[in-house]
């Protein structure tokens, strides 16, 4: 079994285990490469037909190419898509990157997702995050409990030793399942190439720039790159020293704020 097959095997095992434990489950699809890979793994896990809904949280500020991609592949793959959008917040003037720059995410992402979960009574969500993506995500588990407010108490998580997963949660808990946790960014792209997974064109370089991570238009900037094919992206990732989410405004701001607070002794 090669490296990618091992990764795929564990991910499919987790997805099947999750579906067995939580019948009322959904997949969160951000239209990015990781969640699209997760979607692909879910199809493989259930022989081509995903037996649960797929949720897209629409902040109203995504790239037009992301909406086109979502609609095209929803139709082609026969996905049961639920779009969550906080129309109330948008009507009340909440826009991307307003106020303290984190508030918009809470209203347009978290609140939208809460509403979708409440309405559909989902007990668990499959989310395509990876440990190597961001410092704080390194603390995640494959089966990660959240409380009713979506809060994550990372100091009080079940151990996951020797691939033993605590897939049964407490009654009030909501569980996040992370089948891609052990993948790296490079693994994802090599798997996309191997499986010929459809991927958004924004990832491929145009005029010397490409998006390495996709978010809202005002909070995401492209990185300098000439990688306009899958092979070139894979080669680029083998040598790059730029962080994957370097184009995400929120992450940059957070890192800057943290560093400043540290220098002032507040942390």
Partner 1 sequence: MGAELLVIGIDAATWAIIDRHLDKLKTFKMLKTHKEYKSKVLTLDQKPYSAPCWVSIFSGKTEEEHRHHEFVVDNEIQTRDDIKVDFIWDILKRTGKKVKALNVPFIVPPYNFNINFEAPGLGIPSNREEWDAEIAEVTNRAIETLRNENLDLFVVCYVSLDKLQHFHWGEKIVEEYYEKIDETIDKLISFGKKLIIISDHGFCAFGEAKIQTLPRITKDGTELKGDHHENAVLITKNIKTEINNLRDVFKAIKEVFK
Looking at 24, 194, 229, 259, which residue binds partner 1 (CB under 8 A)? 259
How many residues bind partner 1, per CB under 8 A? 25
* Range 7-26, binding partner 1 (CB under 8 A): none
171/164 Cα distance (integer angstroms): 20
Question: Over the Cα atoms of the chain, what is R_g?
Answer: 18
Does residue 260 belong to the site contacting partner 1 (CB under 8 A)?
A: yes
Give the residue with the Cβ less far from partner 1, 47 or 266: 266
In the DSSP assignment, the letter for residue 206 is B
209/227 Cα distance (integer angstroms): 8
Does residue 100 belong to the site contacting partner 1 (CB under 8 A)?
A: yes
Does residue 98 belong to the site contacting partner 1 (CB under 8 A)?
A: yes
Looking at 102, 147, 150, 209, which residue binds partner 1 (CB under 8 A)? 102
Euclidean distance between the first and the last CA atom of the chain, given in angstroms as a whole number: 46
Angle of helix 185-195 relative to helix 33-45, nearest 10 degrees, comes to 50
Q: Which stretch binds partner 1 (CB under 8 A): 57-65, 79-87, 172-180, 257-265?
A: 257-265
162/228 Cα distance (integer angstroms): 40
Does residue 64 belong to the site contacting partner 1 (CB under 8 A)?
A: no
Binding site for partner 1 (CB under 8 A): 98-103, 106, 135-136, 154-155, 253-254, 256-267
């Amino acid at each position: 079994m090669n490296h990618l097959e091992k990764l795929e095997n564990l991910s499919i095992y987790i997805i099947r285990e999750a579906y067995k434990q939580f019948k009322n489950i959904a997949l969160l699809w951000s239209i990015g490469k990781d969640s699209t890979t997760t979607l692909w793994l879910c199809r493989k896990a259930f022989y081509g037909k995903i037996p649960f809904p797929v949720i897209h949280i629409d902040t109203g500020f995504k790239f037009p190419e992301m909406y086109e991609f979502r609609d095209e592949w929803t139709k082609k793959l026969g996905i049961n898509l639920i779009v969550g959008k906080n129309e109330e917040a948008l009507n009340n003037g909440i826009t991307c990157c307003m106020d303290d720059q984190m508030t918009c995410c809470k209203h347009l992402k978290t609140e939208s997702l809460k509403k979708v979960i409440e309405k559909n009574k989902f007990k668990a969500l499959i989310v395509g995050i990876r440990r190597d993506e961001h410092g704080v995500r390194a603390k995640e588990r494959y089966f990660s409990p959240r409380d009713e407010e979506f809060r994550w108490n990372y100091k009080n998580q079940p151990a996951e030793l020797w691939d033993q997963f605590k897939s049964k949660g407490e009654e009030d808990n909501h569980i996040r399942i992370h089948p891609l946790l052990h993948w790296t960014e490079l693994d994802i792209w090599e798997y996309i190439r191997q499986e010929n997974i459809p991927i958004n064109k924004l990832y491929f370089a145009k005029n010397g720039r490409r998006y390495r991570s996709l978010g809202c238009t005002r909070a995401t900037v492209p990185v300098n790159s000439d990688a306009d094919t899958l092979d070139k992206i894979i080669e680029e990732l083998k040598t790059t020293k730029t962080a994957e989410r370097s184009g995400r405004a929120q992450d940059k701001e957070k890192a800057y704020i943290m560093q400043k607070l540290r220098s002032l002794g507040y942390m």
